Amino acid sequence: MNRSRRDFIKKVTTGAAIMAAPAFLSSPGAFARQKPGDAVTPFKLKYAPGLGMFRQHAGQDPIDNIKFCHDQGFRAVFDNGLMRREPEVQEKIAAELKRLGMDFGPFVLRADSGKQDFVLNTQEVRDMLIASMKEGVEVAKRTSAKLALVVLGRYDMKLHRDYQTANAVDNLRYCCDILEPAGVTMVLEPLNNYINHPGLFLTGIPQAYAICRAVNRPSCKIVDDLYHQQISEGNLIPNIEAAYSEIAAFHLGDSPGRNEPTTGEINYKNIFKYLYKKGYDGTLCMEHGVSNRGTIEGEDRVIEAYRECDSFEV
């Protein structure tokens, strides 16, 4: 038997053992076309597709998207646009997630990357932030969402960064006063300055960790976006380890390109294995594009990529 044939048989055999589902072996994308109700092994971790990621399969309706994700083995979803949806739609999303026993990743509460807000010490800013938090609490009540994402806005070139940090800490404490009684935790997202978000104040995990420790409230944590952090600082697993006590959620996306795992340089299989061994039980939001976007085959490949990266040995 020649080498290529042996390699092919080994690959197919390994895939069958991992998936325990012959549909995965039949053709690219076959797993993504599992019929509702078919027995599909849930993923080891709570990878959370965004509502609308699989619109070629499930259309635009958020409830159909949730059902499709569950049928493919996902046990969480997220929705960056949740606050813009009508209240009755928010309630339907919450009801369907509860019915299926699925988790809900962080929704975007405040993420205005064009303004200076958290870094300023003014009553106007403080009143605006408190009003935003109150609006987020109402959404959380309707949806049972427990995590709300916050971006700390732009830095002030006329003010020393240490003063900006102190202002951010004070403003975040005011936000905690609103969110904490409602059982909502805000997660601060550091974003990269080099490609996507030049000029923002919060850019790295060590910086976010220091701020959360200074705020010192259980309702102020971090969402670690691994795409952004690969660009900003790399050293992904050691930074997760160092800041783990303050991390409440993750965002996923490979780099370069910000598409599904296996399309860039990040070794997501190792990262997922590390998080599984840590006992991480939160959501990992699939906040990325589809490399072959706008096609059923591209969406199928997203699911296959997560099956590949989720096939780590435990």
Read off the pLDDT of residues 69-95 as tens digits, 9 standing for 90 and up: 999 999 999 999 999 999 999 999 999
CATH number, residue 213: 3.20.20.150
Spatial CA neighbour of 93 closest among 125, 63, 70: 63
**Distance from C-alpha of 185 to C-alpha of 207, rounded to nearest angstrom:** 19
Residue 171 within any structural domain of the chain: yes
Q: Does the structure show a pLDDT above 90 at 61?
A: yes
Averaged pLDDT, 49-65: 97
Tokens coding 187: 């997660």
Q: Indicate the average pLDDT of the chain.
A: 90
With contact defined as beta carbons under 8 Å apart, do 211 and 202 qualify? yes
Sign of CA dihedral 200, 204, 205, 211: negative
253: Cβ contacts below 8 Å, ≥ 6 apart: 225, 226, 227, 259, 286, 287, 288, 289
For tokens 């939001």, the residue is 285
Residue 6 has pLDDT above 90, yes or no: no
Does 27 map to a domain?
no
Q: Which residue has the higher pLDDT, 14 or 50?
A: 50
Of residues 11 and 183, the one with the higher pLDDT is: 183
Distance CA 23, CA 296 (A): 16
Beta strands in 226-279 (DSSP E): 247-251
More confident residue, 8 or 191: 191
The pLDDT of residue 244: 98
How far is 308 from 27, CA to CA, in rounded Å? 15
Cis amide prior to 106 (ω within 30 degrees): no
Q: 17-21, 79-83, 146-150: lowest mean pLDDT where?
A: 17-21
How many structural domains comprise the chain?
1
Domain coverage including residue 241:
40-309
Long-range Cβ contact pairs of 130-134 (< 8 A, separation 24 or more):
130/174, 130/175, 130/178, 133/109, 133/175, 133/178, 133/179, 133/186, 134/178
Bigger pLDDT: 109 vs 33 = 109
pLDDT at 38: 56
Degrees, nearest 5: CA angle 107-174-284: 25
User: Is 25 part of any domain?
Assistant: no
Give the least confident one: 37-51, 158-172, 221-235, 284-298: 37-51
261 domain residue, yes or no: yes
Asked whether the predicted pLDDT for residue 299 surpasses 90, the reply is: yes
pLDDT for residue 50: 98
Q: Average pLDDT in the 145-157 region?
A: 98
So what's the pLDDT on residue 34? Answer: 54
- Looking at residue 9, its pLDDT comes to 38
Q: What is the pLDDT of residue 117?
A: 97
User: Does residue 88 belong to any structural domain of this protein?
Assistant: yes
pLDDT for the residue 40? 87
What per-residue confidence (pLDDT) applies to 272?
98
Q: How far apart are CA 313 and CA 21, in angstroms?
A: 17
- How many C-beta atoms lie closer than 10 Å to residue 124's C-beta? 9
Spatial distance between the Cα atoms of 185 and 217, rounded to a whole number of angstroms? 9
Rounded mean pLDDT of 176-184?
98
Listed residue (312, 311, 305, 299) closest to 58, CA to CA: 299
Tokens of 22: 């012959």
In-domain check, residue 76: yes
